[in-house]
C-alpha cells in the first residue's frame, strides 16, 4: 500500500511568523492519521495547504500523486474537507443542502437521494431533514458538515477538530462515521486536541509544535520512544521535550 499524502519541507510564512516550518511526513492509504499539536502549532495552516486553500512558500506536498500547487483542481475533486468553520447555509434544509452539494460534485440524482437517506439516518438527523439549518444546535450542524465532507465519496478526507465542543452523543456518532469511512478504504487526516479520541481511532499520528513535525508513528511506537503510557502523556512529553525522531 502506498502513500495517500506525501509532504516534504512544507513551509508557510505569515509576515515574520513561520507558521509551518519545513514539515515533512507521509500518510499511508486507508488509515486515520492524527495531526496533533497545541494551539497555534500549525495544524490548520498545514491542512489548508494540503487542501489547496493556501499556497506553500516552500516545499512540496502531494495528494495521491497530485501536486497541491500544480494540480489543485484535480485535488479538490478527490478530497473532502471539514474546516474549522462549518460554512453551512442557514436558510436551507439538510436535504436541500445535500442535493445542492451533490449536484456541484457531479453526482447522479439517485446517488444523491440514496446517500442523503443513508447519512441522515446514520447520524440521526432524519427527523430534522426538512428543518432550516439555522435552527440547528452546534452538534447537529457539525454532523451535517461532516456528512457534506464525505457525501461525494472522496478518497482523502481532512477533518479539522470535528468533535470540539460537542456533547457526548454527537461526538460518539461522528467518531463512528469516521471509523466507518476508514473501513471503506478512505484516508482520513484528523486534526484534534482530544488525545483520547486520537488514541481510539488513529492508526498513526504526527505531533506538530511551533510549525515543526517533532515526531510521527503509531501510538505504541511513540510510547516506546518516550517511555510513557497513553497518548496524552506521550504528547506532553514530546511537546515539552521537542524530541524529533
Residue 126 — left, alpha, or beta (φ > 0 → left; ψ -120 to 50 → alpha)?
A: alpha
pLDDT band at 84 (very low <50, low <70, confident <90, very high): confident
Report CA torsion sign: 5, 243, 35, 10.
Answer: negative
Max Cα distance, the chain (Å): 53
pLDDT reported for residue 85: 83
Q: What share of the chain is helix, strand, coil (3-state, %, to 5)?
A: 40, 25, 35
| pLDDT tens-place string over residues 173-232 | 999 999 999 999 999 999 988 999 999 999 999 999 999 999 999 999 999 999 999 999
pLDDT reported for residue 58: 96
d(C-alpha 187, C-alpha 128), whole Å: 29
Q: What is the pTM of this model?
A: 0.93
Task: With beta carbons less than 8 A apart as the criterion, state whether 37 and 43 touch.
Answer: yes
The SS3 assignment for 114 reads helix
The SS3 assignment for 162 reads coil
- Range 225-241 average pLDDT: 92
Residue 30, domain CATH? 3.40.50.300
> What total number of domains does the chain contain?
1
CA angle 15, 18, 20 (to 5 degrees): 130
Instruction: State the residue range of the domain holding 107.
Output: 3-241
The SS3 assignment for 197 reads helix
pLDDT reported for residue 165: 83
pLDDT reported for residue 87: 85
User: In which residue are the cell numbers 484516508 written?
Assistant: 187
| For residue 167, pLDDT beyond 90 | no
| For residue 50, pLDDT beyond 70 | yes
Contacts of 108 (CB under 8 A, 6+ apart): none
56's grid cell = 506553500
pLDDT reported for residue 164: 85
Beta bridge partners of 34: 190, 205
pLDDT band at 1 (very low <50, low <70, confident <90, very high): low
pLDDT band at 154 (very low <50, low <70, confident <90, very high): very high
pLDDT band at 71 (very low <50, low <70, confident <90, very high): very high
d(C-alpha 137, C-alpha 111), whole Å: 27
pLDDT reported for residue 148: 95
pLDDT reported for residue 242: 62
Torsion angle in degrees (nearest 10) through CA of 177, 179, 182, 184: -70
Amino acid at each position: 500500500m502506498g502513500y495517500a499524502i506525501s509532504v516534504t519541507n512544507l513551509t508557510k510564512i505569515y509576515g515574520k511568523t513561520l507558521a509551518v516550518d519545513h514539515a515533512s511526513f507521509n500518510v499511508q492509504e486507508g488509515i486515520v492519521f492524527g495531526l496533533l499539536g497545541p494551539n497555534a502549532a500549525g495544524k490548520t495552516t498545514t491542512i489548508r495547504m494540503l487542501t489547496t486553500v493556501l499556497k506553500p512558500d516552500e516545499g512540496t506536498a502531494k495528494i495521491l500523486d497530485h501536486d497541491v500547487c500544480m494540480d489543485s483542481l484535480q485535488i479538490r475533486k478527490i478530497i473532502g474537507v471539514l474546516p474549522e468553520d462549518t460554512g453551512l447555509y442557514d436558510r436551507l434544509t439538510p436535504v436541500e443542502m445535500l442535493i445542492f452539494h451533490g449536484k456541484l460534485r457531479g453526482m447522479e440524482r439517485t446517488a444523491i437521494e440514496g446517500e442523503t437517506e443513508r447519512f441522515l439516518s446514520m447520524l440521526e438527523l432524519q427527523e430534522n431533514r426538512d428543518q432550516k439549518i439555522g435552527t440547528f444546535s452546534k452538534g447537529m450542524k457539525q454532523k451535517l458538515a461532516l456528512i457534506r465532507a464525505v457525501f461525494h465519496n472522496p478518497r482523502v478526507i481532512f477533518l479539522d477538530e470535528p468533535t470540539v465542543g460537542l456533547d457526548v452523543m454527537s461526538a460518539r456518532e461522528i467518531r463512528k462515521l469516521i471509523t466507518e469511512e476508514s473501513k471503506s478504504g478512505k484516508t482520513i487526516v484528523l486534526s484534534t486536541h482530544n488525545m483520547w479520541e486520537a488514541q481510539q481511532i488513529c492508526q498513526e499520528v504526527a505531533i506538530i509544535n511551533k510549525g515543526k513535525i517533532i515526531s510521527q508513528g503509531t501510538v505504541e511506537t511513540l510510547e516506546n520512544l518516550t517511555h510513557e503510557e497513553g497518548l496524552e502523556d506521550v504528547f506532553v512529553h514530546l511537546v515539552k521535550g521537542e524530541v524529533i525522531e
